[in-house]
Every structure is written in structure tokens, then in C-alpha cells.
Amino acid sequence: MNTRQLRQKILDLAIRGKLVSQDPNDEPASALLRQIKSTQTTQIKQKNTDKKISENQSNQCAPFEIPESWKWCRLGEIGNWSTGTTPSRLKIKYYENGTIPWLKTGDLNDGKIIKVSEYVTESALNECKQLKINPIGSVVIALYGATIGKCGILDIETTTNQACCVCKTHPIIFNKYLFFFLLSQREQLKEKAEGGAQPNISKEKIVSSFIPLPPLSEQRRIVSVIVSAFALIDEIEANKLSLAQLIKQTKSKVFDLAISGKLVPNESITNDELRMMKSSTLAKEDMPFEIPKSWEWYKFCEISSIARGGSPRPIKDYLTDSGNGINWIKIGDTEKGGKYIFTTQEKIVKEGIKHSRFVNIDDFLLTNSMSFGRPYILKTDGCIHDGWLVISIDKQMLNQDFMYYLLSSGFMYEQFSNVAVGSTVKNLKIESVQQIPFPLPPLSEQHRIVEKIETIFEALDVIQSNL
């Protein structure tokens, strides 16, 4: 269950009377409704709504079971509901130098409304009949479009447009309980919406909807628990983000330790490994940092070959649907965070090979356009365009997985960044990449480093997947 589902579950339990225990000393909800209906002003304002309620009540079944001290009623019974309007945009006097807050659905944030994006003038308030100032504490819900069901509680006095439905709750109804109830019903309200590109739900459907009403003191207890639980979830979400960032930093640190010879114990190099190790031409003063004695600094060109891809032009003349076509490997064939390239979306005719570069399984590809320096290992052959560099390694000296992790390290990205050229789009020149230094341990130690990295990353990935 993710945190969004957890919030919804808490709200579902709350409106079913299962979040807090019932107190037999609480005044029952039926008494609250009697107090509302005994108020003459409320009776007058709710006359039409109450008529609709009495006509339909007997035909409605309670949506779910609630505690005995609770009562099912309609939203129209617990407060005065109204919508606003949009003063004519053609009349500048309605907006110019306006000082009266004017709320739109885009200002709703499922919480307190602390600011609005527009203001209207006294002229608009005096001349537009549906425009009126709503008091602090009123509950607002969006009726139109993608924002249907978004809620808020006013902590400023404000007018609204016609897409906002505002409820001034009866004094013995806790406005925050209404707010959380509406928040729990967003998906149900969306289902009631009508219209195509701009779906909407009417005020009439809102006020005729059922709400399970607890005793007032229980409403406050429910809200208190919801607020506390949501605050804890907020903290969990913040920690999830922090932990995700920490995992990313940990992986980067693992790379740093790996390429500096500090991730696994250094063992004496064997005679066979010594014979395989080539002599490097890198001057001592050009070595970026100290490495173990059994390691060696090399330039890229000393133990690998590098080439750039090529693009047949116009490419559309070379694309084919034939099964005999040559795989056309693009950056779009990669997966975010992936290590391998297995398949391609497109193929080119065989004649395109002479205008491109053919690459083989187990070659390394390095991105060289838009975002340079991302490595991938090929698990298919094909042709590459000029947004790729291909690196072929000496497998007698280099473990393929070690090379991948080396190329993925922050150290290597920094080296690539230092030699990248271009004003708008940076790219790598082969000549520059060939001279980049990198540290190389004996082959047996490369295997141990890879095993250690993958053990650590597997544990980190399990943590990441459970956030």
C-alpha cells in the first residue's frame, strides 16, 4: 500500500466510524439534525432542499453501516451551499485594482486556502448578483474539469467563480470533518460528473449526496486522528525522498570506493596477471589520485578502441520493415537506469551499413548527444548513428561489468564533462576521450569488485522498491 492509498484508507475508516471509538456520553447526531431544523433561518434557506430530501429519502438505501449514534443525512442539510460567478471580462472596472479575493478551482490545494490568484472590485461585488463574500471557515469544493473534487477551507474571506461550490456549515457541524469527508469522496464525485472534454458535477448533486454524520465531539476526535495520521504520512513521504536520495548517494560512494581500490581487499598480483598488464604511458603527474600498488593507470586508447557512429541520410530512405534488415540502434531503445540494449524499434537496409557503423554484441555504447556519457552494453548487433560512441575492450585485461561500473562512476562522468565541447549541445570528441585516464586493477580483483558492487546494489534496490 502506497502513501496515497494509506491516506484514502484512513479517510474510509473515519467516515465509517472505525477510526475512533464511540463515546456513549456524546450527544447523538440525530440531535444535531433536530437543532439545525429548529432554526428558523435555516428552515427558510433549506426549504427546497429539504423537500427534495423528504421525497427521495425513502427510496435511498444507506451506502454502508454506521454506528448507532451516527445519522445519515444529505450534504444540503448541514450547511448553506452556494456557487459564485465570473464577472464579465469585458468590464475592466470589475478587475482593475481589485482588492476582493476571487477564488478559482486552480487555487484549491486540498488544504487551507491561504491565497488566491486574482482579485475583483467593489463594482463587481455590487453588480454581479451571484458574487458574494464567503466567510472564513467555509468549505470549498471544485465542480468542473480536472480539478473536480479538490477541496479547501477558507482562511480568508473571498468570493468565488461558478466552478467552486462553497458551504458555510451550521455551527454545530465541524467544518474540518466535512472537508475530510469530501476529500474521501473525490472518486465517487468524479463518477457522478457529466460532460465530455470538460466534465462537471452540479451543486444539486453535491447537496443531495449522503454524508454519515457523527456526534459533534466525535467529529472533532476523528479530525484530530486524521490530522495526526496525515502529518505522520507527510513525514514518511519526506523520509522516502530523503532515503531515495541517500540510496543514490550511497551507490555513488560505492563507485568511488570501487575505482579507488577501497571496496575490496587488495591481493598480490599473480605472475600471469602481471604479464597481461601492459605498461602505461601516463605520466605520474597526470594520475588523478593514488591507487593500490597492484593497480595501473591507463589512457582509454591503451586498452580499448573508440569510434563514432554514423547516420545514413536521409534516414527515412534507409528504414525498412524487412526481417532481414539491420538493427538501427537509437538512444530511444534504452531503458532509464538500464544496463543493456536488447532490441531496437527500427531497422535499416543493408546498404545503410556503409554510411553508418556496425557494432557487435558486448560492445559498449556511450551516449554522445543531448546527455553524454551514459554507458550501455549491447546484447544485439546493428548500426549506430552519430549520437553514439562505441567502445570495444580488451577482455584479457578488462571485465565487462567492471568497465560498465567504471563508466557509470561520478569520476568518469567528471572526466567526460571536462573534455565535452559545444555551446548549445555538448558532445565528446574521440581524440579527447582516448586520452582520458582511468584506474585498472588486476582482472581477478575486478571480478571481486563487481561481485561486491552487485551484492550492495541488490540490497539497496530491495530497500528502494519497498519505499
At 436 the pLDDT is: 93
Task: Give residue-wise pLDDT tens across range 126-152.
Answer: 999 999 999 999 999 999 888 899 999
- Go through the domains of the chain in sequence order and give each one's CATH number: 26-214 (3.90.220.20), 269-444 (3.90.220.20)
Task: Give the span between the Cα atoms of 67 and 30, in whole angstroms.
Answer: 12
Task: Give residue-wise pLDDT tens across range 361-399.
Answer: 999 999 987 688 999 999 999 999 999 999 999 888 899
Q: Which residues contact 202 (CB under 8 A, 6 or more apart)?
A: 143
Total residues belonging to the chain: 467
Residue 329 φ/ψ, nearest 5 degrees: -90, 120
Q: Which three cell numbers stand for residue 124?
A: 463587481
Mean pLDDT for the stretch of residues 313-319: 94
- What does DSSP say about strands 139-142 and 437-440: parallel, antiparallel, or unpaired? unpaired
Q: Which residues contact 195 (CB under 8 A, 6 or more apart)?
A: none
Task: Give the span between the Cα atoms of 194 and 200, in whole angstroms.
Answer: 5
**Starting from the edge strand earliest in sequence, which strands make up the sheet with 159-160, in order?**
118-120, 100-103, 159-160
At 371 the pLDDT is: 81
Task: Give the chain's mean pLDDT.
Answer: 89
Indicate the pTM of the whole model: 0.64
- Of 177-191, 228-242, 308-322, 376-390, least confident by mean pLDDT is 228-242
At 61 the pLDDT is: 59
| Residue 268: closest CA among 298, 284, 292 | 292
278, 303 Cβ separation under 8 angstroms: yes
Q: Cell 549520437 identifies what position? A: 387
200 C-beta neighbours (distance < 10 Å), count: 16
Q: Which residue has the higher pLDDT, 195 or 129?
A: 129
At 275 the pLDDT is: 65
Task: Give residue-wise pLDDT tens across range 14-50.
Answer: 999 999 999 999 999 999 888 887 764 444 444 444 4
Answer yes or no: is pLDDT of 303 > 90: no
| Residue 428: closest CA among 386, 383, 459 | 386
Provide the percentage of residues in the chain whose pLDDT is more than 90. Answer: 67
Task: Give the span between the Cα atoms of 130 and 160, in whole angstroms.
Answer: 9
